Structure 1
Amino acid sequence: MSCRYLVVIDGMQTERLCNITSAFPVVNGVDSRVIVTTTIKKIAKRCSSNNGRVYKMKTLDDSDSEKLFFEVFSKGKCSIADAKELQASALLKKCDGLPLALVSKAKFLKSEENLTKIKCEDACRKLCAPEITEDTLGKMHGVLVSSYESLSSLVLQQCLLYFCMFPRGHRVRRNPLIRRWLAEELVQVPPGDALDTTPQRIAVENLETLIDRSIIQSTEVSTSGNVKRCQPPGMMLEYIVRKSMSQNFITLLCGESATPREWEYVRRLSLHDYCVTKLPKGLSRLRTLAVFPTGDAAKYEPTLNFAKYDLLRVLDLEECEGLNDRHLQNICNLVLLKYLSLGGCISEVPKKIAKLQWLETLDLRRTKIEKVPVEVIQLLQLKHLLGKFQLIEGDCRKANPEDLSKRSTLETLSGFVAGESEGFPQLMSHMKRLGKVKIWCKSTASKRNLNHLEEAIKVFIRDGNEWPHRSLSIDFQECSDPFLGTLQAPGSLGSLKLHGNLRQFPQFVTKLNRIEELCLSSTNLSRGVLLLGSRLDTLKYLKLIEDNIGPLEIRPKHFPSLRQIWLVGVQSLHDVRTGALPHLTSLHMICESLDGLAGIEIACLKGLKEVRLHSRVDQGTKDAWKEAARGHPNRPDVLAH
C-alpha cells in the first residue's frame, strides 16, 4: 500500500545529509515532497540535483518592510502615523527587508517606555551589541553570532570583518576587495597545500564561501554569472562593525563621532563622512587607511601627513576629489605600499614612483592621469594597473623588451590607449603574465601602431592556450581604420569584449580554439542572423548591447553550448528568435520598452531556469512572461534586473 508524504527538514547545515531523499520511496502516480531549507547555496544545489528545484527566498521590498515593521511596533501602543513621527523608520535601512530583523527591532522599540526620537536614535546604536540580552533581540542576535562562529577559520572571520571598512550601502567591488585582502596578507597558503594553490585562489574561495553561506549578498554579477559587487546585509554589518572594533581589527570613524584615545595602536582605519583635516597626530602603526567622504567633504583637500604613516600597506583615496599632484609626490615616499587607489585632480605620475617597489595594485581610474612614465610598468611587484592612459612619449625606448619579458609580473592592464605615439602596443607582447587587457583605439593611431597592436593581440591570444582564462576588451569606436577584419589569431580566450562598429562578425573569433564569453557592444550586428557559416562550439555566455536589437536570429547550430544570453536594447528589443538551445538556462531581456515576449518561444528552451527583465518594464509584459513561465516544465523564475 503506497501513501503520500510531506517531509520538511529545516536549517540543514551539512552536506552529509544531502542524500537523505534516497531514504524516502518514490512511487509512480503518488505525489510526495521532501522540502529542505538551508542558508547554504551549495547544500541547496546538492539537495536538488535529482530533478529538484531551488527556490531562493526574497527579502521584503520597502513597502512591505515598512508595513510589517510599523504594524508590529504600533500594535497596542500607538498608531502607525504616530510611530512614523518618532522616526523609527530610520531603523528600516538596517534591516534590508529581513522579516526577523524587522520584527525583532519593532518589538524591541515597542518594549521601551516613554519612547522619544532620542530613544529611537539611541536604539539604532544599541542594536547588535555583543552584550544584548533582551529576549526581543536574542533570537536575531543568536542568528548573527551563529553565522559568524560557523566560519571554519580565523582567516574567514577576518575576511568577513574586513567588509566594515566600507560604508553602509557601499556595493563592494569583488576584484579590489580580493587585492586588498592579499595586500593585507590576510590570506596565505597553508603549509602542505597543493603546489597549484595560490593566495589569490584561496581569497576567491573565501569570498565564494561567504556568499554561499548567505552571510554576504551578491548585488551584481557578470555575464558569466561571477560576482562583481557584494555587501553584507544591514544587521550583519552592524554586528561585524562592533565585533571588529572590540577586537581592534578595524577602527571606524563616522561623521563627528568620538575618536579612540590610544591612536598609536590603530592598524586599520576607515573614515566614513569624516573630515580628514581633523585627523589626530598619532597613527604611528597605521597599515591601512581608507577614506570615504560624502557630499562637500569629498572636495576638501586632505591634510594627511603621509610622512608619519611610513608603515602603510593599503591606501584607498579614490573617493577624495581634493587630491592633487603634491599628494602623490608625498605618497611615493611610502615605500611599503602594496595597494594604492587614487582619485581627484591628480594629473601626473612622478618618476619617483619607482620607489614603490612593493606595489602590487595601482588604480588610477578616478584620476585625470592620461600618461604614465615607463617607471610604472618597471615596478617589480606590480600586478594590476588600472586606468586609461598612454606611455609618456619617448619612454617606450627606455624599456628593455628582453628585461620586461623576464621580470614583468603585470597580470591586469586595464587599460591603455593606442594613439599616435609609441607605447603599450610595442611592449604588450613582452608582458608574459598578462591575463586581462583593455584597449582603447584612438582615431589618431598610426598604421604602424595598429600593426604593433595587432601583433601584440595575436601573441596574447596565441598564449591563451597556456593561460585559458585570459580576458581581452577592445574599444575601437573612435578608430577610423579598424584592423579586426584582417586579424588572424588562432588561440584561446576566456572572455572577449568588442565595442565599435563592425561590418561583419569578426572572423578571428570563429577561428579560436576556445572562447567562453563574448560581449558585442554598439557593433551593429544585432539584426539578421548573428553568425553565418561558422560555429562557436565552446561559447557559453553571449551578451549584445545595442540601441536597437531585432529582428535577430540566434541559431542553435551556431552556438551549441550556450548557457546564458544577455540582450540589452537601450531603445528597443523585438523579434528575437533563438531556436532550441539545449543548454540555455538564463535569458536576460533588458529593455525598458520591451513589449511582451518579443518573439521568444520559451517552450523550446527546455533547460531554461530564469528570465530577467528591466526593472521598469510595464506590468503587461511582466505578466506575459510570468504566464509563459507557468506553462514551461521548469517554471523558470521571472525576475527584475
Structure 2
Amino acid sequence: MKSSNSLMERGYLIIIDDIWDKEVWKLIKCAFSKKSPGSRLITTTRIVSVSEACCSSRDDIYKMKPLSDDVSRTLFYKRVFSQENGCPQELLQVSKDILKKCGGIPLAIISIASLLANNHQMKTKHQWYTLLNSIGRGLTEDQSLEEMKKILLFSYYDLPSYLKPCLLYLSIFPEDHEIMRDRLIWRWISEGLVYSDRQETSLYELGNSYFNELVNRSMIQPIGIDVEGNVQGCRVHDMVLDLICSLSSEENFVTILDDTRRKMPNSEIKVRRLSIQNSKIDVDTTRMEHMRSLTVFTSDVVGKVLDISSFQVLRVLDLEGCRDVSDVGYVGNLLHLRYLGLTDTRVKDLPMDIGKLKFLLTLDLRGSEIEVLPSSVVQLRRLMCLYVDDDMKLPTRIGNLTSLEVLDNLGLSDVDLDFVKELGHLTKLRVLRLDCDGFDDSLGKALEESISNIYKLDSLVVFLRNGLINCLSEDWVPPPQLRRLAFPSAGSWFKTLPSWINPSSLPLLSYLEIKLFEVRSEVIQLLGTLPALVYLQILDYYVYRKGHEVEAPVLSSGAALFPCATECSFHGIGAVPSMFPQGAAPRLKHLWFTFPAKWISRENFDLDMRHLPSLQRVEVRVTTKGASRQEVDEAKAALRAAAEDHPNRPVLEIGIWW
C-alpha cells in the first residue's frame, strides 16, 4: 500500500520482465495506481494469454519480431570478434549459416556467440562447421549453452502434462521442416496424445487447442496464418529442436536416424517411434517389434532396408513425399494402424484387405497415383479423416463411414444418384470439399438434401468447373454451424445472391467466397450484416468478363456494416474503396480489388480510402484492355494518391494486366 501511495504522487514508467502466469500478474498490478495520469507499465512475456491479461486492449500488445539479418550479424560479430567487421573471410559463410539457424532470436545468437568467443578450441572453420551441424539435433553439449538450455527447459517444464508429449513429438520432423497443422493433429490423435473421456468432445478441436497453445507459448513458430487468423502450420526453432531431440532421446520417446546418427543407439531399449531422415542408415529391425510409429523422409529405405510388413503393432505409417514408394500391399496386415499417410507417393493401388484396419482414423492419399479405391474402404467405420484427389473414384456405400469428420476433395463428376444420397449419412462431417463438372436437377437436389443432413458441417467448399451453380436452391436450409463457405471456381456463378445467405441462417459464417452474375448495392448491404464475416471475396461475373465495355454500377454499403471484416476482395465492382462510408468495415486491414483502367475517366469513379481506419495493405489489379497508355498511368497515379492520403500510409501493390 505504501508503494502504491508513493506511485500515486508521481508519474512512473516501470518495466516488468518475463511474466509467466496470469495469477501472478493479478497480484503485481495491485501495487500500481490507476490514478497516475501519464504513467506507463511495460510487461514482457512469452505467453500470449498472459500478454492479453496484462493489457486493457489487444491493440496495446506488441509482438516482438525476430532480429533482421543485419542486426543479427552485428550482435553476433561484436560478441565473437569484439567488432562488427572482425570476421575473417574464411568464416563468413559458416557464420552466415549459424545465424540462419539462430533465426533472429537474441537469446540463441548471444548463446552461440558466447560459446565461440569463450572456447579457445573453436577457432578453425572445421570446428565452426562441427558446431553448425550439431545445432538442432540434440547434440550440442557445452557449458556456454547451459544458460540458454535452462531457459528453454523452464519453458518446457512449465507446460501442462498433456502438452509435453505433443511438443516432444515434433522431434520426429527434420530441422527447418514445415509441419502442417492438420497432419500433426491427426497424428497426435492416432498416437493417443489427444484424448478425452467425453464423447461429445471433438478430438480434432481438442488437438487444435493443443497446437494453438504451443504457438501461444512461443514453443513453435507459426507459418501460413490464414485470413481468419488460423495458423496452418509450424516450424521448430533449431534451439528448441535441439532441446526436444535431446529429451526425446533420454526418454526413448523418438529414435532419429539422420546424416549424423546412422545407426541405432547402442542400447537394448526397444524402438517406439522411428524417424528416418537419411537413406544411408543401418537399421536393426530386431528391436522394432514394439514400434508404434514410423515416419520416413527419404524413399530409398522403404522396401530395401525396411520390411514394414513385420511391424505388427504399428499405429502410424507416414510415407509422405517418398516418391519411390509404389507398393503398399502389406498395409492390410498392420491391424493396429490408425494413420496411413501416402501423400505424394507413387502408390497406384490399395490392397483389398485394407478393410481389415478396423482402427484406422486417417487415410491421406493426396498426390498419389491411385485411381480407384477398393470397395473394402467402406468397412473402415472408425475412419475420421479421408483426403483424396478429385479424380479418384470412391466405392458405393460411402455412407457406412459414419465416423468421418473430414472428406476433402471428393470428385462428383462421375457418380450416380445413390452415391450422392449416401453423403447424407455422414452426419459427423465438419469439413467437406466437393469437385464436379456440373449437376443435373436430380443430382443437385440430392446433394442439397444430403448436405442439409450434415448438421455439424463447419466448412463447405464446392468447386463447380463451369456454368450456373444450381445445386443449392433458394429454399435450401444450410447447416447452422457453417463458418466457411466457398465456391472458388472462376467459371461458375449464382444468378443472384441465394436467399439463405443471411444473418439468421448463417450467424457464424466468417469466410465467404462467391460469384454472382450481377452484384447490386442491396447484395453488399445484406452481406455487410453477416455478424461474424471476416473474409469476403465477391465477383460480378458479367462485369468482370466484359470489363471496360460495360458501365459498372457504383455500389455502396451502410455505416456499421461489415463489423468484423479484416480482408475483402472485390472484382468487377465499381468504386470499391469509396463504397464504404464512415463507420463501415472498421477492422478492414487488407483490401483487394480489380478494375479496368478505362474506368478512371468516369466521373463517379472514386478511389478514396481514408474512411477505412485499420487499412494496412491494398492490392489492385488494373486491366488495360481498351485503355490508352495515359489512362493506365492516370489509374496508377490515382491509386498512389489515394494511398498517400490515408493516415496509415497502407502498403500499395499495383499489378497491370495487359
What is the SS of the residue equivalent to 2:20?
A: coil
Partner of 2:224: 220
Partner of 1:337: 337
| Change in 2 beyond 3 A, CA 1:174/1:524 | farther
1-structure distance, mates of 2:52, 2:213: 14
1:521–1:545 CA contact under 8 A, matched in 2:
yes
Equivalent positions of 1:72-111 (< 5 A) are 72-75=79-82, 79-82=86-89, 84-85=91-92, 87-111=94-118
Partner of 2:486: 497
**Which of the residues 430, 436, 440 maps onto 2:425?**
430
What is the SS of the residue equivalent to 1:328?
A: coil
| Change in 2 beyond 3 A, CA 1:24/1:348 | same
1-structure distance, mates of 2:177, 2:12: 46
**Which of the residues 404, 409, 415 maps onto 1:410?**
404
What is the SS of the residue equivalent to 2:11?
A: coil
How many angstroms does 1:524 deviate by? 7.5
Question: 1:363 and 2:357 equivalent?
Answer: no
How many angstroms does 1:446 deviate by? 4.6
| Change in 2 beyond 3 A, CA 1:340/1:46 | same
Equivalent positions of 1:197-276 (< 5 A) are 197=201, 199-255=203-259, 257-260=261-264, 261-262=266-267, 265-272=270-277, 274-275=278-279
2-structure distance, mates of 1:200, 1:338: 14
| Change in 2 beyond 3 A, CA 1:142/1:565 | same
**TM-score (normalised: structure 2):** 0.79
How many angstroms does 1:360 deviate by? 0.3
1-structure distance, mates of 2:444, 2:377: 23
| Change in 2 beyond 3 A, CA 1:168/1:209 | same
Partner of 1:142: 150
What is the SS of the residue equivalent to 1:315?
A: strand
The aligned amino acid for 2:294 is: L
1-structure distance, mates of 2:484, 2:184: 21
What is the SS of the residue equivalent to 2:510?
A: strand
Partner of 1:483: 471
Partner of 2:123: 115
| Change in 2 beyond 3 A, CA 1:613/1:52 | closer
What is the SS of the residue equivalent to 1:440?
A: strand
How many angstroms does 1:589 deviate by? 3.8
| Change in 2 beyond 3 A, CA 1:592/1:158 | farther
For residues 49-76 of structure 1, the C-alpha deviation after alignment (integer angstroms, 9 at most, x for no partner) is 2586001111023343234323432326
2:607–2:639 CA contact under 8 A, matched in 1:
no
The aligned amino acid for 1:459 is: N
| Change in 2 beyond 3 A, CA 1:373/1:127 | closer
Partner of 1:634: none
2:362–2:385 CA contact under 8 A, matched in 1:
yes
Equivalent positions of 1:416-565 (< 5 A) are 416-422=410-416, 424-443=419-438, 445-460=439-454, 463=455, 467=456, 470-478=458-466, 482-484=470-472, 486=474, 488-492=476-480, 493-500=482-489, 501-502=492-493, 503-510=495-502, 512-520=505-513, 531-532=524-525, 536-544=529-537, 555-556=557-558, 559-565=561-567
Question: 1:579 and 2:581 equivalent?
Answer: yes
How many angstroms does 1:107 deviate by? 2.4
**Which of the residues 185, 189, 210 maps onto 2:196?**
189
1-structure distance, mates of 2:182, 2:228: 15
2-structure distance, mates of 1:437, 1:400: 14
What is the SS of the residue equivalent to 1:188?
A: coil
1-structure distance, mates of 2:302, 2:647: 53
For residues 292-329 of structure 1, the C-alpha deviation after alignment (integer angstroms, 9 at most, x for no partner) is 23xxx5799766312211111001112111122xx221
For residues 575-633 of structure 1, the C-alpha deviation after alignment (integer angstroms, 9 at most, x for no partner) is 4643345674352246899x9xx94635554xx4x73577xxx9x999997994559xx
What is the SS of the residue equivalent to 1:508?
A: coil
Identity over aligned pairs, percent: 25
| Change in 2 beyond 3 A, CA 1:148/1:408 | same
Partner of 2:77: 70
Please, which moves more after superposition, 572-581 or 197-206? 572-581
The aligned amino acid for 1:291 is: V
| Change in 2 beyond 3 A, CA 1:27/1:307 | closer
2:194–2:203 CA contact under 8 A, matched in 1:
yes
2-structure distance, mates of 1:292, 1:545: 41
| Change in 2 beyond 3 A, CA 1:317/1:168 | same
2-structure distance, mates of 1:187, 1:201: 10
Larger radius of gyration: 2
2:588–2:612 CA contact under 8 A, matched in 1:
no
What is the SS of the residue equivalent to 1:332?
A: helix
2:291–2:311 CA contact under 8 A, matched in 1:
yes
1-structure distance, mates of 2:262, 2:479: 58
**Which of the residues 291, 294, 297 maps onto 2:296?**
291
What is the SS of the residue equivalent to 2:234?
A: strand
What is the SS of the residue equivalent to 2:194?
A: coil
Question: 1:311 and 2:309 equivalent?
Answer: no
1-structure distance, mates of 2:645, 2:267: 63
Structure 1: runs of 5 or more not aligned: 632-636
**TM-score (normalised: structure 1):** 0.81
| Change in 2 beyond 3 A, CA 1:580/1:249 | farther
1:340–1:361 CA contact under 8 A, matched in 2:
yes
The aligned amino acid for 1:285 is: H
